[in-house]
Structure 1
Amino acid sequence: MPGAERRPRVLLLTGSPLDGVEGSDVRLAADVLESLPDVDFVWFSPRPGRHPTPAPPARGRPVRIVSRNGAPHPAGRVQAVLAGAVFARRVDLVHAFLTVGRGFPAFSWLRPLLLGRRPVVHTVPGVMDTRFLARGRPLGTTVALSESMARRMRAAEFGDVRVIPPMIALDEWPYLPRPEGYPAVLFSGHHDPHGGAEESIDAAAEARRAGSDFRLVLAMRGRPGQDTEALNEALRERAGAAGLVDVEVRGYVEDMHALLASVQVLLFPPTGLGGKADVPFTVLQALASGRPAILSDLPQFADFGPAVLRAPAGDPRRTGQQLAWLLDQPRSWDMLAERGRALAEDHFGPERFAARYAALYRELLA
């Protein structure tokens, strides 16, 4: 990167603290920070309070903002925008990690006032509604996670749109042998409308009717303001009504490594992403660990190619048939497990991720 005497300074602009509650924007920003050791980063951190937060990054300069338990809230986002407006004048480049949601169009039109004339990279974890794209404007060079989203953003006249898939730390997620004994099937996600939990229950019921015998595990993550206990109980009731008796509904899972080691298949059939990452990190973790995945056929998932099985979104019958077939075909299971690991290494590896962002930074800082 230019300037041997001084390393470039980059502001990581996220809607919540980098060492707060993990989301796709925070995960992507943290991966960029860890991947580029030759850059001095500035990032947001919650002020010390009563709620525990993850260990902060060991590098860069934290900027303190008030945040309830480190989770994204409107007040925290406003603070991040105001702090970003101040520090954008003190850095060489601004790297924003912002989902295109309801507030994005207004922010994008205020971009010259808020971020000044510094070059901007905008990594887009997801788009809540394509109508927000039409109302907004690019912040600078835009980075999409998938080819499908890049095409949508170019069609919305976002100009210079690059594709840099997220990364998975391969040494942290080693390839695991197929677990022995009674099979388990995992869904991991949020309590969001059309997020895939209900669809997983319906597909599992179809697989059971087709003769498969397995345990369904639902690892559910709540969002601020949700009554997660009531939502988890509603899922248990839905499973019971569908005739499923061996179902476990969990809350947030601290040790995802152990959970993936205990299951045979990841089932992730949302009918819409609603602003979540185009490339879900749970799917990357499963593929790197050698766990075949069955996904819905959303356009964003096309980048996984033949490394996964895909079924029509909202079609529990077809999804359940694929699940029953996969559990009954050990050779096909092995083939998909190997394909998934190979895809994680070739397409989502950390070296490729670091090289692409380093090249982009050099280009914009030249």
Structure 2
Amino acid sequence: MARRARPTGRPRVLLLTSSPLDGTEGSDVRLASDVLDALPDMDFVWFTPWPGHRQDPPRRGHPVRFLSRDGVPQRAQTALAGAVLARRVDLVHAFLSVGRAFPVYSWLRPLFLGGRPVVHTVPGVAEPRLLARSRPLGTTVALSESMARRLRAADYGDVRVIPPMIDPDAWPYLPRPKGYPVVLFAGHHDPRGGAEASIDAAAEAWHEGARFRLVLAMRARHGQHPGMLNEALRERAGAAGLPDVEVRGHVEDMRTLLASIHVLLFPPEVLGCKAGIPLPVLRSLATGRPAILSDLPQFADFGHAVLRAPAGDARRTGQQLAWLLDQPRSWDVLAERGRALVEDHFGPERFAARYGALYRELLS
């Protein structure tokens, strides 16, 4: 039986994220914000911190405030607030990675989410063993075919694949920058997350004769000490004989940074809870910046638009970097392939059509 529509004629949808929707940069928040922008015919409810608010709040929907101070566990608050709001909406759309707390949450799904239909977009999985301990929240959405296969193997039932989106107009294709080459790694201070591997690979490329500056744009997670972690990266670069390294904190203006670089280096050994289709990679490809990635299964969807090397193989990754910096024609080919891939497979129209069809299916 169809659910009764709201007085506005639009179904009400709760965007359930682990942190407030306005101003944060996590993969779950980014995906939720993109869904909000892509589906104007839905009446969305989302979380915002109190007191005050963060930068660039969404212009649509209904923000729900909850107390947010340093040290307060936001995930617990959003779970409790979601339990109340889930009874007042027509559909719940959860954007939750499968982390340590997820198995318990999934088994308590009736308590937290009631009987409303649920879409669960899975940005990432911290550890494969957690899938065996969990239950699906509803219709599950994976970002890649690789993740979908893992979820189906874990008995997640109805799993759809909807890749994340990037607006090509917001990230225009740029010509190759002139001057001294710059290589970028952008990511978190996660074990085996790619920062150390990027330094080791860059050192290999330097010893091969390539000359460039390595920029590490690092984001710290809650509870980490970014100053100490950044200094450890500088020390690693010095010990590896890599002389030209810049370690930055979180970069607000990523467009300007991408305009200045020649290559994105992203060679994690494990993704953990990071998105299976990382946003820095999509942004890099959209702007025409070739990427060198590790050969994780999640990256197979990028096909021949990127270069890939065995995860943990600094020598091979460094050789690819040295080769690419010395081959302007190959650089141009990869830049064009990357842009075409973004337009064909990660555009906003395709994203909106798939989520819109899924919403209509579950609401009818």
Q: Which category of TM-score, normalised to the shorter sequence, fits these structures?
A: over 0.9
Q: Which runs of 5+ in 2 are unaligned?
A: none
Residues 1:243 and 2:241 aligned together = yes
1:177 maps to 2:175:
yes
CA distance in 2, matches of 1:89, 1:268: 42
* 4+ residue runs over 4 A deviation: 1-5
The aligned residue for residue 109 of structure 1 is 107
1:20 Cα deviation after fit? 4.0
Q: State the Cα distance separating 1:199 from its structure 2 match.
A: 0.3
Aligned residue in 2 for 1:363: 361
SS of 1:54 mapped into structure 2: coil
The answer for the alignment partner of 2:285 in structure 1 is: 287
Matching of residue 10 in structure 1 with residue 8 in structure 2: no
Residue 298 of structure 1 aligns with an amino acid whose one-letter code is L
C-alpha separation between the residues in 2 aligned to 1:324 and 1:79?
Answer: 48
CA distance in 1, matches of 2:188, 2:226: 10
Q: Distance in 2 between matches of 1:154 and 1:210?
A: 43
- Is this contact kept in 2: 1:99–1:127, CA < 8 A? yes
2:42 corresponds in structure 1 to 39
Letter in 1 for 2:63: P
Per-residue CA deviation, residues 174-228 of structure 1 (Å, 9 max, x unaligned), is 0000001110100001111001010000000100111111111111111111111
The residue aligned with 2:28 is: 25
Aligned equivalent of 2:199: 201
Q: Is the 2:107–2:135 contact (alpha carbons within 8 Å) kept by the matching residues of 1?
A: yes
**Cα separation, 1, equivalents of 2:218 and 2:63:** 30
Q: Structure 2 CA distance, aligned partners of 1:111 and 1:173?
A: 38
**8 Å Cα contact 1:65-1:76 kept in structure 2:** no
CA distance in 1, matches of 2:190, 2:106: 26
Amino acid at match of 1:222: A
CA distance, structure 1, for counterparts of residue 72 and residue 136 of structure 2: 22
Tell me the CA shift for residue 74 of structure 1.
Answer: 6.5
Cα distance per residue 1:9-47 (max 9 Å; x no partner): 000011111014220000000000010000000000001
Contact 2:185/2:266 (<8 A) preserved: yes
Structure 2 distance, partners of 1:160, 1:85, is: 23
Asked if structure 2 preserves the Cα contact closer than 8 Å seen for 1:20 and 1:46, the reply is no
Q: Are the aligned partners of 1:200 and 1:267 in contact in 2 as well (CA < 8 Å)? A: yes
- For the residues of structure 2 that align with 1:304 and 1:353, how far apart are their CA atoms? 17
Task: Report the Cα distance in structure 2 between the residues aligned to 1:28 and 1:74, rounded to whole angstroms.
Answer: 24
User: Matched residue of 2:274: which SS?
Assistant: coil
> Counterpart amino acid of 1:26?
V
Name 1:63's counterpart in structure 2.
64
Write the distance in 2 (CA, Å) between the matches of 1:356 and 1:253: 31
Alpha-carbon distance in 2 for matches of 1:37, 1:336 = 35
1:9–1:41 contact (8 Å) kept in structure 2: yes
Aligned residues: 361
Secondary structure in structure 2 of the residue aligned to 1:301:
helix
The separation in 2 between residues aligned to 1:59 and 1:139, in whole angstroms, is: 26
For 1:62-141, list aligned pairs within 5 A.
Answer: 62-68=63-69, 75-141=73-139
Q: Does 1:234 pair with 2:235?
A: no
Give distance in 1, aligned partners of 2:250 and 2:104: 33
Distance 1:271 1:331 in 2: 29
CA contact (8 A) 2:287 2:339 kept: yes
1-structure distance, mates of 2:283, 2:69: 29
Which residue of 2 is the match for residue 315 of structure 1? 313
1:90-131 residue CA offsets vs partner (Å, 9 max, x unmatched)? 110000000001111111111112111100000000000111
Scaled by the length of structure 2, the TM-score of the pair is: 0.97
CA distance in 1 between counterparts of 2:128 and 2:28 reads 18
Q: What's the offset of the Cα at 1:68?
A: 2.7
Instruction: Identify which range, 294-303 or 77-86, moves more after superposition.
Output: 77-86
Native 8 Å contact 1:25 1:125 kept in 2: yes
Could you tell me the percent identity over the aligned residues? 76
Contact 2:21 2:57 in 1 (8 A): yes
C-alpha distance in 2, partners of 1:342/1:362?
30
Structure 1 letter corresponding to 2:19: S
Q: What is the rounded CA distance, in whole Å, between the counterparts of 1:261 and 1:156 in structure 2?
A: 41
> What is the DSSP-based 3-state SS (H/G/I as helix, E as strand, rest coil) of the residue aligned with 1:105?
helix
Q: Distance in 1 between matches of 2:37 and 2:308?
A: 33
The code of the aligned residue for 2:83 comes to A
Unpaired segments ≥5 residues, structure 1:
none
Which whole-Å deviations, capped at 9, do the CAs of 1:118-146 have from their partners, x for residues lacking one?
Answer: 00000000000111110011000000001
- Per-residue CA shift, 1:260-288, capped at 9, x if unaligned? 00010000000001111000000000000
Q: Is the 8 A contact 2:168 2:286 kept in 1?
A: yes
In the alignment, structure 1 residue 168 sits paired with structure 2 residue 182: no
